[in-house]
A and B are shown apart, each in its own frame.
Chain A
Amino acid sequence: MNETVTQEAQNSLSSNPETSTPYAMQGIQLKIGYSQKTIIPEMSVRIPRGAITSIIGPNGCGKSTLLKGLARIIPVQSGTVLLEGKPMKDMPTKMIARQLALLPQGPEAPAGLSVRELVSFGRYPYQKGFGTLSKKDREIVEEAMRATRTDMLADRAVDQLSGGQRQRAWIAMALAQDTPIILLDEPTTYLDMAHQLEILELLQRLNREKKKTIALVIHDLNLAARFSDYLIAMKDGEILHEGTAEQIMTPSVLRDVFSLDALVEQDPWTNKPTMISYRLLKDENQSK
């Protein structure tokens, strides 16, 4: 994002943290890792509100770790995560779950659990005590299944579905959480190309029609460029570059981040930059 927006964000943050920063989430000087191993030494990151943000980078660069840190799955060792301008540390985890839904990487439902049962778990953050679904809860569950086109699978067992259907069922659960923000950890991994596209179009529809802020970790750069409003390119636990697809899908950024020699053109169908071909940078490879 450009300087003025950042400035504006900081101003509004200091004057009135309740009202709109342009960022749904912010990480300030985050240090994230597991007890002995720090994966992200220090990072500040912003997830713009109402946009689709893709986190890209080579394997092991800390993409998923960042996402899990933002989603409070891994405790942040130092620094602050702001959720709608408020420090997440001070919020009860169930309250966070009303603002932030997470789709973990390669989720697995217990054998025999039906799609509707899975999606119903999305209402957990709103339930008290023993938790029976209210009429409103049930409506939200049905609506979440319609929006993800899993309503016709409602009574099928999740573990018996195809990969794409299963992923849609899990997205429906996140949707039933009725949160303004959805984080997804590699939602397209292990899917074939058509199903990858289907998931991303679904996310795009949720972003446009339901005004969801979406942040995801994704490996396919062309899909990331095509569907994201904002890209964050990471390497070795740091953000190297961030910006729009046009700013990130350039040969120089791809060289920095992935050590790739890439040929980037404009996709005539989507008008987005797309990688036509790529090869490993020979020199870089040998020096390593």
Chain B
Amino acid sequence: MQTSTKKTVFFLVISLIAVCIAAILSVFLGSTDISWQTVLSALFSPDLSDHQQIAILELRLPRTIGDLLVGAGLAGAGAMMQGMTRNPLADSGLLGINAGASFGLAICLAFLSNVSFGLTIIVSFIGAAISVFLVFGLLMMKRRKLDASRLVLAGLAVSMFLTALTQGISILTNTGQSLTFWSAGGTAGIRMDQLKIAAPVMIVALVCGILLSRQVSLLSLGDEAAQGLGLNLNRSKLFCLLVVLVLAGTSTALAGPVSFVGLLVPHIVSRFVGSRYEAIIPASMVCGSLLMVLADLVARTLNAPSETPVGLIFALIGVPAFIIISRKEGDNEA
């Protein structure tokens, strides 16, 4: 117990240091060469007539903060979903959040021309929320119980329904191209005014996620065992799902459907910190940030000045990793 707590703390400290280094690198490195003196003066005594300094403040800094938040949000939400549903292959996509956010964005692109970025993320978030409530509605219709296998089916049904609507809207209104750009996933488009809305919400949700982590641990023992230990099952699950909605919904609204972060990161960190979600959830948040910042750094420097979609990079790492994980799970069963 004590040794595993020590290990977790050690791991958290190391990864926090790594995140700080990666975040600093991410502000200093980009598709165009900007000297470190210019970066420093942009950060500490900005000169708004210098277009390089403006690029730092308006593009790289929000992008880096976005990477940190989105990575933490998706990985934290994924860890919570895996614990709650006792399904090692779960992530927030199961709740139809990606499809819902796409739907919201499609509506913005099609019907609300010239909307501000801030409004776009709010509408995308509402799309994600609608999807979660639809999934809930389907679940609650017959039995008033949140059961993991039914959640997967309901999530899939709602996702497919909303995806069909999204595609219909984008074909009819000819906005498919902008939607595709967003669907590739990435934090390149994040601006300060979006972060002003999203960052406080995300930070509150991240803290709530950490506070709920003990309850997620109990849920990971199964519903009956958790109840037997004195957990208020429906209340815990509801709180957890709300936090997942806010974390994943806001992240997806900001950065598009960045896949695999929520799925992979919790598995990677559990190798180091064990199987208790009190450790997995905070560690996933930190490592999610790290992975996202690093992947985004690769995305913008790999083929500079063109952007490589960060979704593509994750898919390239993610698909093989996904196969390895599912094979491992299979081995354990045998």
Q: Could you tell me which A residues sit within 8 Å of B by CB distance?
A: 34-35, 68, 71-73, 92-98, 100-105, 107-114, 116-118, 120-122, 124-125, 130-131, 133, 138, 141, 157, 159, 170, 173-174, 177, 185
Contact = CB atoms under 8 A, between A and B. Distances in A.
Nearest to A158: B275
Closest 8 CB pairs of A and B: A97-B230, A102-B228, A104-B224, A94-B230, A112-B275, A113-B275, A125-B230, A110-B220
Contacts of B214: 124, 130-131
B229 A124 contact: yes
Nearest to A177: B229
Contacts, number: 96
A152 to B, nearest CB: 16
A101 B218 CA distance: 14
Given A68-B224, A111-B275, A117-B276, A96 B230 contact: yes
B320 to A, nearest CB: 20
A34 B332 contact: no
B143 interface: yes
Contacts of B231: 93, 124
A125 B224 contact: no
Given A124-B218, A133-B1, A114 B274 contact: yes
Interface string B113-157: 000000000000000000000000000000110000000000000
B207 to A, nearest CB: 12
A71 B276 contact: no
Given A124-B229, A124-B230, A117 B1 contact: yes
Contacts of A177: 229
B275 A110 contact: yes
Given A111-B275, A120-B1, A130-B214, A35 B143 contact: yes
A122 B214 CA distance: 13
Contacts of A159: 332
Given A131-B214, A133-B1, A138-B1, A73 B227 contact: yes
B278 to A, nearest CB: 8
A109 B231 CA distance: 16
28 contacts: A73-B227, A73-B228, A94-B230, A96-B230, A102-B225, A102-B228, A104-B222, A104-B225, A108-B86, A109-B221, A110-B86, A110-B275, A111-B88, A111-B329, A113-B220, A117-B1, A117-B274, A120-B1, A124-B218, A124-B230, A125-B229, A130-B211, A131-B214, A131-B278, A170-B225, A173-B225, A177-B229, A185-B224
Nearest to B332: A111
Contacts of A72: 227
A124 B230 CA distance: 8
Contacts of B220: 110, 113
A55 to B, nearest CB: 16
Given A97-B229, A117-B276, A159-B332, A73 B88 contact: no
Contact of A35 (B144, B222, B230, B278): B144
A71 B274 contact: no
B159 interface: no
Contacts of B86: 108, 110
Contacts of B175: none
Nearest to B232: A93
A221 to B, nearest CB: 25
B217 A121 contact: yes
Interface in B200-246: 211, 214, 217-218, 220-225, 227-232
B221 A121 contact: yes
B4 interface: yes
B38 interface: no
A120 to B, nearest CB: 6
B52 interface: no
